[in-house]
Amino acid sequence: MEEPYQSGGSSTESHVSHILSFRMSSRPMGWSRQGAGKMAELRAYYYNGGDMLELGRYQKKVYFQAQIRGL
């Protein structure tokens, strides 16, 4: 019997968790208001069912389109 296709998945969630724990652990680092706001937006996006990998792909696409237009 053939094995069903299995995706390797994404390390995005674990990477975000690692960065958060690093910044907030025994020697906490500060956050700028803008950085804290962006992280809060990402957390809200994720906890409301957002796909972090798809968001990254979308942002990359928008970035390269802006580069092509010379913005």
Sorted by where each begins, the domain ranges of the chain are 12-69
* Per-residue confidence (pLDDT) for residue 39, from 0 to 100: 85
Under the banding of pLDDT at 50, 70 and 90, the label for residue 15 is confident
pLDDT in tens, 37-49: 888 898 899 889 9
Under the banding of pLDDT at 50, 70 and 90, the label for residue 8 is low
The amino acid sitting at 4 is P
Q: What is the dihedral of CA 27, 32, 36, 38, to 10 degrees?
A: -130
Q: Are 53 and 12 in contact (CB under 8 A)?
A: yes
Does residue 10 or residue 54 have the better pLDDT? 54
Phi-psi region of 49 (alpha: psi -120 to 50; beta: other; left: phi over 0): left
Lowest mean pLDDT among 28-32, 36-40, 60-64: 28-32
Decide if pLDDT at 25 tops 80. no
Kindly state the DSSP code that residue 54 receives in the 8-state scheme.
Answer: H
